[in-house]
């Protein structure tokens, strides 16, 4: 049987270039996510700290310009990575069969990377659309959002998905480009695990703080409403 051995390497230059772009966009998003989680978690210190940081990003136009740029990089990264994602049922069956056959941890990591990517694509796009269309960013507004509808559960799903994807992504970039070797691999796996644990913990505390703030705001609103009603009832009785 004749085999076209040249086919997979038909455009090596273009493929290498796309691989570089995928790695660079991925690395930029990993850095963005680490900064983003630290900035949002500033609400743990106080709402004033988060508001001050958001204010700085808005007066310098970094939020207005940077936000849409991140959105574009986010979509571009998905399109670049999609070249290697099996979308057909046949392709998915083969990938699953290989993962089971190989018993190789890094193959499972790749599968986790693909599954989390799909979830993040949808949920991350919804999140960015909502936040970028609701400037200015303020702790009270974020708390009100997290405390309304199903948003708390939305973030409780998105948070571990994004942290898993980011940790595996950073590790795979290290392996692919040679920073992580056979010798230092266990050390870097441990570092990635610690980073994952640290960011998920900070994220969960942040969400609890937002939910607590939302509850406090609702209670304050209810108390103000009750005080207004009492005043409206009592004042006529006093003849005021």
Positions in the binding site for ligand HEM (CB under 6 A): 36-37, 40-41, 63, 67, 70-71, 74, 120, 124, 127-128, 131-132, 137, 142, 145-146, 155, 158-159, 162, 203, 206-207
Q: Which of residues 70 and 180 has its CB atom nearest to ligand HEM in the complex?
A: 70
Q: Minimal distance in Å, beta carbon 147 to ligand HEM?
A: 10
Cβ at position 122, least distance to ligand HEM in Å: 10
Shortest reach from residue 76's CB to ligand HEM, in Å:
13
Give first-to-last CA distance, the chain, whole Å: 101
Looking at the Cβ atoms of 25 and 180, the one nearer to ligand HEM is: 25
Q: Which is nearer to ligand HEM, 124 or 180 (CB)?
A: 124
For the bound state, the minimum distance from the C-beta of residue 222 to ligand HEM, rounded and expressed in Å, comes to: 23
55-72 burial code (b ≥16 CB/10 A, e <16): eebeeeeebeeebeebee
Q: Closest CB to ligand HEM among 72 and 226? A: 72
User: Residue 19 or residue 58: which is nearer to ligand HEM going by CB?
Assistant: 58
What contacts 24+ positions apart, CB below 8 Å, involve 42-50? 43/139, 43/142, 43/143, 43/206, 43/209, 43/210, 43/213, 44/202, 44/205, 44/206, 44/209, 47/139, 47/140, 47/143, 47/213, 50/139, 50/142
Minimum distance from CB of 75 to ligand HEM (Å)? 10
Spatial separation of the C-alpha atoms in residues 194 and 18, rounded to whole Å: 31
Residues making up the chain, counted from first to last:
240
Residue 190, both tokens: 């441990």
Non-local CB neighbours of 220 within 8 Å, separated by 6+ positions? none
């Amino acid at each position: 049987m004749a085999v076209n051995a040249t086919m997979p390497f038909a455009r090596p230059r273009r493929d290498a270039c796309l691989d570089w772009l995928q790695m660079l966009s991925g690395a930029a998003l990993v850095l963005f996510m680490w900064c983003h989680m630290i900035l949002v978690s500033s609400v743990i210190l106080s709402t004033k700290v988060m508001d001050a940081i958001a204010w700085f990003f808005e007066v310098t136009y970094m939020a207005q310009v940077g936000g849409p740029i991140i959105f574009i990089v986010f979509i571009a990264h998905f399109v670049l990575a999609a070249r290697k994602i099996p979308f057909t049922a046949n392709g998915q069956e083969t990938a699953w069969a290989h993962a089971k056959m190989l018993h190789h941890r890094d193959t499972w990591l790749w599968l986790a990377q693909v599954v989390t990517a799909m979830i993040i694509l949808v949920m991350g796009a919804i999140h960015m659309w909502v936040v970028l269309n609701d400037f200015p960013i303020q702790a009270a507004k974020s708390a009100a959002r997290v405390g309304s509808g199903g948003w708390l559960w939305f973030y409780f799903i998105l948070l571990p998905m994004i942290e898993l994807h980011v940790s595996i992504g950073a590790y795979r970039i290290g392996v692919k480009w040679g920073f992580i070797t056979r010798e230092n691999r266990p050390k870097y796996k441990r570092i990635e695990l610690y980073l994952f644990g640290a960011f998920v913990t900070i994220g969960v505390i942040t969400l609890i703080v937002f939910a607590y703030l939302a509850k406090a705001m609702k209670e304050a609103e209810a108390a103000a409403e009750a005080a207004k009603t009492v005043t409206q009832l009592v004042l006529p009785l006093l003849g005021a």
